């Protein structure tokens, strides 16, 4: 395993700019790492030629003094982002052979900032899942193992391939998308940093839609500063996305001065849930102590509608998905299974093209929007969503950020919870409320479970206060000194 792959994105950026190594060398090392880690099934498509050509072009730009903020950094792209002329699957059979003629705004921004593409990472089908097990291309293995066990574990989901690739040192960073926790939960399971920015911070244009009012792209990296650098390269207003927000993208690193003295950190009582393992509470308590020691002030807060967040999410997200996925009909692209009539063709194509979890959510979504049930489900969920957002607004009158655990457990075994969708949905219990409120959140590795698996802490912030979140997260990161390595590379 090359040493270059163990650098953080920040270290690689500095090394490249000092001329310690070239983008070509850095990318070559990562291309080899991607190959070496194929057993994880983290990538659906590897693009080594594109990576190396991109690296050469990057070296040329640097020699001309035209280096961007991510110049020469090899990244992996979640296979939910459309990438021009590169197979884009959304982890679904129904997009068989789909090669977009266009590049998503976020990935285009990354390439414009100088980054290099290693390939497309595996994910839950249409980003629907918390285990990466719903992918048509098979589950992803978490690079971590429980101590003394060789049983494969899930990387979390839906951005499981991205989290695994970053944890296994295949990529310096990867894009993720987060609808109800799809960046933060896999980041926690794989011991990496994952950030979901404020809704509207990154353009959704060119990202295969799951639930439009919730979907948001964000960075997954091995360090907090890495996330700051990468987010700066991804974010920005996009006139092609009406929900994209026209506020300038700050230099997030500038805000990261390590000073959290006097900062008020909210500790929501509703996030202490019966049945969560004690070690989750322990790591949370540890986080509180670290921030106290750094001079921050803890404030007990209440977010009273938290318990409704999960059911609300599982109405709103499937409702939008049932409509967003209607375009996969076999008429224009992807899979088509012939039938004698148009309806038969639809049924055959969608029946074969979608997996069980996607079908479940389409059915739920169509149900909650249907005449006679609309008010009882969809409309009520929309109203509760407003109440949840109001909870946070009220809390942010008193505090600057909120600290919680990221997930209610460490990574679980591949195949576990598959027969119990509700148990699976519970994975998102700590991440979903901020998604419904459109707020930024970041997960960072804070410690290990008793059997040696990474556990994450989550910080939630105010709209467009990603800089504050990154600052606080870096203070936690420094205190946590998380330096454990997953078994696959240690």
Partner 1 sequence: MTTIEGKTGPWEMVIGLEVHAQVIADSKLFSGAATTFGAEPNSQVSLVDAAMPGMLPVINEMAVEQAVKTGLGLNAKINLFSEFERKNYFYADLPQGYQISQFLHPIVGEGTIILDLEDGKTREVGIERLHLEQDAGKSLHDQHPTQSYIDLNRSGVTLMEIVSKPDMRSAEEAGAYLRKLRSILRYLGTCDGNMDEGSMRADVNLSMRRPGDPLGTRTETKNVNSIRFVQQSIELEARRQVEILEEGGTIAQETRLFDASKGTSRSMRSKEEAHDYRYFPDPDLLPLKIKADWVESLKSELPELPDAKKQRFMDDFGLPVYDAGVLVADQETAAFYETVAEGRDPKLVANWVIGDYFGALNRTSGANLGNAPVDAAKLGGLIDLIADGTISGRTAKEVFEAMWDSGKDASTIVEEKGLKQISDTGALEGIVDQLIADNPGQVEQYKGGNVKLIGWFVGQVMKATQGKANPGMVNQLLKKKLD
Pick from 2, 84, 243, 286 the residue near partner 1 by CB under 8 A. 243
212 binds partner 1 (CB under 8 A): yes
Phi-psi region of 336 (alpha: psi -120 to 50; beta: other; left: phi over 0): beta
Distance in Å, CB of 214 to partner 1, minimum:
8
Q: Which of residues 326-355 bind partner 1 (CB under 8 A)?
A: 326-327, 329, 331-333, 342-343, 346
123 scored as a contact of partner 1 (CB under 8 A): no
Of positions 46, 320, 391, 477, contacts partner 1 by CB under 8 A: 320
HEC profile for the chain? CCHHHHCCHHHHHHHHHHCCCCHHHHHHHHHHHHHHCHHHCCEEEECHHHHHHHHHHHHHHHHCCCCCCCCCCEEEEECCECECCECCCCCCHHHCCCCCCCCCHHHHHHHHCCCEEEEEECCCHHHCCCCCCCCCCCCCCCCCCCCCCCCCECCCCCCHHHHHHHHCCCCCEEEEEECCCCCHHHHHHHCCEEEECCCCCCCCCCECCCCCCCCEEEEEECCHHHHHHHHHHHCCCCCCCCCCCCCCCCCHHHHCCCCCCCCEEEEEHHHCCCCCCHHHHHHHHHHHHHHHHCCCEEEEECCCCHHHHHHHHHHHHHHHHHHHHHHCCCCCCCCCCCCCCHHHHHHHHHHHHCCHHHHHHHHHHHHHHCCCCCHHHHHHHHHHHHHHHHHHHHHHHHCCEEEEECCCCCCCECCCCCCCHHHHHHHHCCCHHHHHHCCCEEEEEEEECCCCCEEEEEEECCCCCHHHHHHHHHHHHHHHCCCCCCCCCC
Shortest Å, Cβ 161 to partner 1: 18
CB of 426 to partner 1, least distance (A): 25
Closer to partner 1 by CB, 379 or 390: give it: 379
Q: Does 110 bind partner 1 (CB under 8 A)?
A: no
Residue 209 found at the interface with partner 1 (CB under 8 A): yes
> Residues binding partner 1: what is the number (CB under 8 A)?
44
Span from 51-59, 307-315, 317-325, 404-412 in contact with partner 1 (CB under 8 A): 317-325
Q: Binding to partner 1 by residue 78, rule CB under 8 A?
A: no
* Residue 308 or 367 having the CB closest to partner 1: 367
Tokens found for residue 302: 């209440």
**Contact stretch for partner 1 (CB under 8 A) within 69-77, 250-258, 321-329, 447-455:** 321-329
Q: Does 100 bind partner 1 (CB under 8 A)?
A: yes
- Does residue 202 interact with partner 1 by CB under 8 A? no
Question: Toward partner 1, which CB reaches closer, 31 or 94?
Answer: 94
Check residue 239 for interaction with partner 1 (CB under 8 A): yes
207 binds partner 1 (CB under 8 A): yes
Closest approach, Cβ 319 to partner 1, in A, equals 6
Q: Quick one: which of 68, 91, 206, 447 contacts partner 1 (CB under 8 A)? A: 206
Nearest residue (CB) to partner 1, 309 versus 319: 319
Site for partner 1 (CB under 8 A): which residue of 88, 132, 349, 431? 88
Active site residues: 78, 158, 182
Q: Which of 38, 240, 272, 292 binds partner 1 (CB under 8 A)?
A: 240
Question: Which window, 209-217, 246-254, 402-410, 420-428, contacts partner 1 (CB under 8 A)?
Answer: 209-217
- Residues 6 or more apart whose Cβ sits within 8 Å of residue 163: 155, 156, 174, 176, 186, 187, 189, 190, 192, 194, 220
The residue from 43, 111, 252, 378 that contacts partner 1 (CB under 8 A) is 378
The least distance separating partner 1 from the CB of residue 33, rounded to whole angstroms, comes to 29
**Which residues contact partner 1 (rule: CB under 8 A)?**
81-82, 88, 90, 95, 98, 100-102, 104, 204-209, 211-213, 239-243, 319-320, 322-323, 325-327, 329, 331-333, 342-343, 346, 366, 369-371, 374, 378
């Amino acid at each position: 395993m090359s040493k270059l792959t163990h650098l953080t994105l920040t270290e690689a950026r500095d090394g490249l700019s000092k001329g310690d190594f070239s983008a070509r060398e850095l990318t070559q090392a990562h291309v080899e790492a991607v190959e070496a880690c194929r057993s994880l099934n983290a990538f659906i498509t590897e693009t080594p030629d594109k990576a190396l050509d991109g690296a050469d072009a990057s070296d040329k730009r640097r020699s001309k003094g035209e280096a961007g903020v991510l110049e020469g950094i090899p990244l992996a792209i979640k296979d939910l982002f459309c990438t021009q002329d590169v197979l884009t699957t959304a982890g679904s059979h129904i997009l068989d052979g789909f090669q977009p003629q266009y590049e998503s705004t976020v990935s285009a921004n990354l390439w414009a900032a100088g980054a290099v593409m290693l390939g497309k990472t595996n994910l839950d089908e249409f980003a629907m899942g918390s285990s990466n097990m719903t992918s048509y291309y098979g589950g992803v293995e978490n690079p971590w193992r429980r101590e003394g066990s060789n049983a494969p574990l899930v990387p979390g989901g839906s951005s499981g391939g991205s989290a695994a690739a970053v944890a296994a040192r295949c990529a310096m960073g990867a894009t993720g998308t987060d609808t109800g926790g799809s960046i933060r939960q896999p980041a926690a399971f794989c011991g990496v940093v994952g950030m979901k920015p404020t809704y509207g911070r990154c353009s959704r244009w060119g990202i295969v839609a799951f639930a439009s009012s919730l979907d948001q792209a964000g960075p997954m990296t091995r360090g907090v500063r890495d996330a700051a650098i990468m987010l700066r390269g991804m974010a920005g207003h996009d006139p092609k996305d009406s929900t994209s927000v026209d506020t300038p993208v700050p230099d997030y690193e500038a805000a990261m001065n390590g000073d959290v003295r006097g900062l008020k950190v909210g500790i929501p009582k509703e996030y202490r849930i019966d049945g969560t393992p004690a070690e989750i509470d322990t790591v949370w308590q540890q986080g509180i102590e670290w921030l106290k020691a750094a001079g921050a002030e803890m404030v007990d807060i209440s977010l009273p509608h938290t318990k409704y967040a999960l059911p609300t999410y599982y109405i709103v997200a499937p409702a939008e998905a049932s409509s967003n996925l209607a375009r996969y009909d076999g008429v224009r692209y992807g899979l088509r299974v012939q039938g004698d009539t148009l309806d038969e063709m639809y049924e055959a194509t969608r029946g074969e093209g979608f997996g069980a979890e996607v079908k479940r959510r389409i059915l739920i979504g169509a149900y909650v929007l249907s005449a006679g049930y609309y008010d009882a489900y969809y409309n009520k969920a929309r109203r509760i969503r407003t109440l949840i957002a109001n909870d946070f607004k009220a809390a942010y009158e008193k505090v600057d950020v909120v600290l919680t655990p990221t997930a209610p457990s460490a990574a679980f075994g591949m195949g576990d919870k598959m027969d119990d969708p509700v148990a699976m949905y519970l994975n998102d219990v700590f991440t979903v409320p901020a998604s419904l409120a459109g707020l930024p959140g970041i997960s960072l590795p804070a410690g290990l479970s008793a059997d040696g698996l990474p556990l994450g802490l989550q910080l939630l912030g105010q709209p467009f206060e990603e800089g504050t979140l990154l600052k606080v997260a870096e203070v936690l990161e420094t205190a946590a000194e998380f330096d454990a390595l997953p078994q696959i590379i240690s």
